[in-house]
């Protein structure tokens, strides 16, 4: 039996997300500060004679995940085989724990995990060149291929500056009863902006060396347009900021719909308590100080 590579595909938060001008190609450049959290999907990859993807887990929506060939994990494996000529086939298993369509990068995390897993199995690993394969798959995927738990990103997410990880903090993820499509979010942002001339922002690594410094620049350009279409998101952010002195930063992650609150050191809030007060599903997690390694075995 062939070896299998297993990895925890960690979710991410955007501590900063600026959407810059639209390029001629139709893509938008971004500026973002990513951090991984402990919430993760479980991904296993094995070299096989055919090509397959099996998904299970509590986070799979009732209507499923759509066609296999459009799944980011599957597309990542295809990209690896086309770029390297290896392997001829693969079998991927994904156990979903990250909410789908929540702005936590679940699909991107799975894609990054598949690229890392295949590279761990490969006779001629690509190493840092994985970012080249990750970039066409989406702006979050390059970050999900690197070994740094925190990074500053530009462009289409492929320009990455690893940052020294900050101390782990508790995080409350509040999951509304709806997902947000990333293309929809971009469309709403463009419609609300009209003609857009971005203001400059130059971030140096030393300006992101503490949680207090990160909180001072934390913003998400999607929060206004998405919140205008889904008022619950605005209400959740406002509720965190107005009623929870244990929370020092609250915002929407990615293109939504998840709203997160980062806790002050030493504070704990029960998930049932938050769920009862906010009327949404909640997940308690922590920011991560490391990237989970790929484990290869039989």
- Of these residues, 110, 119, 140, 221, which one is catalytic? 140
Q: Do 13 and 102 meet the contact criterion of CB atoms below 8 Å apart? A: no
Active site residue 12: yes
Residue labelled with tokens 């459009």: 70
Q: Which secondary structure element, helix H or strand E, spans residue 85, and what is its range?
A: none
Q: What's the token pair of residue 146?
A: 């690197």
CA-nearest of 82, 85, 135, 91 to 112 is 135
Q: Do 250 and 125 meet the contact criterion of CB atoms below 8 Å apart? A: no
Burial of 169 from C-beta contacts in 10 A (0-12 / 13-18 / 19+): middle
Q: Cα torsion for 36, 41, 47, 51, to the nearest 10°?
A: -120
CA-nearest of 175, 183, 195, 193 to 282 is 175
- Of these residues, 12, 96, 110, 221, which one is catalytic? 12
Active site residue 96: no
Q: What's the token pair of residue 1?
A: 């039996």
Contacts of 112 (CB under 8 A, 6+ apart): 9, 76, 134, 141, 142, 143, 144, 145
Buried b (16+ CB within 10 A) or exposed e, 30-67: bbbbbbbbbbbbbbbbbbeeebebebeeebeeeeebee
Q: What angle do CA 182, 144, 181 make, to 5 degrees?
A: 10
Q: Cα torsion for 95, 222, 33, 132, to the nearest 10°?
A: 60
Q: Do 256 and 234 meet the contact criterion of CB atoms below 8 Å apart? A: no
Q: Catalytic amino acids?
A: 12, 140
């Amino acid at each position: 039996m062939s070896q299998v590579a297993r990895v925890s595909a960690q979710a991410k938060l955007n501590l900063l997300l600026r959407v810059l001008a639209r390029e001629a190609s139709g893509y938008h450049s971004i500026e973002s500060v990513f951090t991984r959290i402990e919430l993760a999907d479980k991904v296993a990859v094995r070299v096989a004679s055919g090509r397959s993807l099996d998904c299970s887990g509590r986070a799979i929506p009732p209507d499923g995940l759509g066609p296999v060939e459009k799944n980011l994990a599957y597309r990542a494996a295809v990209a690896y085989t086309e770029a390297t000529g290896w392997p001829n086939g693969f079998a991927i298993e994904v156990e979903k724990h990250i909410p789908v369509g929540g702005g936590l990068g679940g699909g991107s995390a799975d894609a990054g995990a598949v690229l890392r897993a295949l590279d761990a199995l490969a006779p001629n690993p690509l190493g840092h060149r994985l970012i080249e394969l990750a970039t066409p798959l989406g702006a979050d995927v390059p970050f999900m291929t690197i070994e740094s738990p925190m990074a500053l990103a530009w462009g289409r997410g492929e320009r990455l500056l690893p940052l020294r990880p900050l101390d782990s903090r508790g995080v409350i993820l509040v999951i509304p009863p709806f997902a947000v499509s990333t293309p929809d979010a971009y469309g709403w942002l463009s419609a609300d902006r009209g003609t857009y001339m971005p203001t400059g922002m130059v971030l140096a690594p030393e300006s992101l060396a503490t949680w207090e410094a990160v909180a001072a620049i934390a913003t998400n350009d999607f929060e206004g347009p998405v919140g205008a279409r889904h008022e619950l998101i605005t209400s959740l952010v406002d509720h965190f900021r107005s009623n929870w002195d244990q929370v020092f930063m609250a915002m929407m992650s990615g293109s939504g719909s998840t709203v997160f609150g980062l806790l002050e050191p030493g504070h704990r809030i029960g998930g049932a308590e938050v769920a009862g007060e906010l009327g949404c599903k909640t997940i308690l997690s922590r920011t991560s100080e490391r990237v989970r390694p790929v484990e290869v075995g039989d």
